[in-house]
Amino acid sequence: MSSVSILGLGAMGTALAARFLEKKYKVAVWNRSPEKASPLLDKGANIAQTAVDGINASDLIIICLLDNAAVQTTLAGALDQLQGKTIVNLTNGTPDQARKMSDLIVGHGARYVHGGIMATPSMIGSPHALVLYSGSQQAFKASEPDMLMLAKCVFVSEDAGAASLHDLALLSGMYGLFSGFLHATALVRSSTPAVKFMDLLVPWLGAMTEYTKRMAKQIDEGNYASEGSNIAMQLVAIQNIIDTSAAQKVSADFIRPMKQFMEKAVAAGHSGDDISALIYFAKPS
């Protein structure tokens, strides 16, 4: 029977443990608040009284805590127990935090893999769940059959911070989508219920998602020449959106930053370029 230890039983850690139990793993779990482990006890989990006990229960240790400061605190008294273990840290954080955690753990004789979970707890074990990994490729390959129990696995890089970087970049894209959805829905609420508006918005966003592939090619090639709606034209359109927002008594704060970037681009001589040229202004001046 395969075994795994899970440190941290928030909603995600509990979902990870439940999935391994479903797949007949021997699972040891630890949480700072022991009562969170009770539902897993009924499913066959072994409750570790301390983090050290959890670490000693398996060679594969999965950590899923609130933040990397909590990971450091949890491991502070257990670093000498990490020798020879594989640590998979699925705690959300920044790339630099992941690199520092890697240095700490590798320095104590363990192998380190950092992960970025692109799923909600309810998605764990489903075909739609994805986890990005970076760090020790050897450790990832060894643990991949186990991690596939949870989600599709994508190894990004041997740079331990790469999974967090890609995780946060994907979330940034998601929040941009949510921002556009919220503003668009607010604009039409006086005319159309939000659910009905989805009949128009979802196909439109799908078409624009396909267009981003062309934009990505422009960015990689450094060729931003527009073949249609250039930035100068789109600046007129976005001003119309802002004016209509005012008329509808809707805040334009969701979309105003895009106008500011377009104005910078036009002032810098990119009025004839495609909107992908705005990536020039994604870096601090």
Is the pLDDT at 1 greater than 80? The verdict is no
pLDDT of residue 283: 74
H-state helical runs in 108-255: 137-147, 162-188, 194-221, 231-247
Three-state secondary structure call for residue 155: strand
pLDDT of residue 108: 97
Is the pLDDT at 148 greater than 60? The verdict is yes
| Every domain range in the chain assigned CATH 1.10.1040.10 | 189-282
pLDDT of residue 70: 96
- What topology does CATH give the domain 3-157? Rossmann fold (3.40.50)
CB 110 within 8 A of CB 82: yes
The token pair that represents 227 in the structure block: 């073949």
Average pLDDT, the chain: 96
Helices (H) and strands (E) in the chain, counts: 10, 8
pLDDT of residue 96: 98
Detail the DSSP E strand segments found in the chain. 3-7, 26-30, 46-47, 60-63, 86-89, 111-118, 130-135, 152-157
- The DSSP output letter for 123 is G
Helix 231-247 and helix 162-188, axial crossing angle in degrees, nearest 10: 50
- What digits encode the pLDDT tens for the residues 77-86? 999 999 999 9
Label the pairing between strands 86-89 and 46-47: unpaired
CATH number (1.10.510.10, 3.10.20.600, 3.40.50.720, 1.10.1040.10) of 189-282 reads 1.10.1040.10
Give how far Cα 49 sits from Cα of 31, 33, 243, 270, Å.
8, 10, 61, 62
Report the candidate in 112, 231, 125 with the shortest Cα–Cα distance to residue 164: 112
- What digits encode the pLDDT tens for the residues 79-110? 999 999 999 999 999 999 999 999 999 999 99
| Every domain range in the chain assigned CATH 3.40.50.720 | 3-157
pLDDT of residue 285: 54
- What digits encode the pLDDT tens for the residues 223-281? 999 988 999 999 999 999 999 999 999 999 999 999 999 999 999 999 999 999 999 98
- What digits encode the pLDDT tens for the residues 109-136? 999 999 999 999 999 999 999 999 999 9
Q: What percent of the chain has pLDDT over 70?
A: 99
Is the pLDDT at 168 greater than 60? The verdict is yes
pLDDT of residue 21: 98
CB 127 within 8 A of CB 98: no
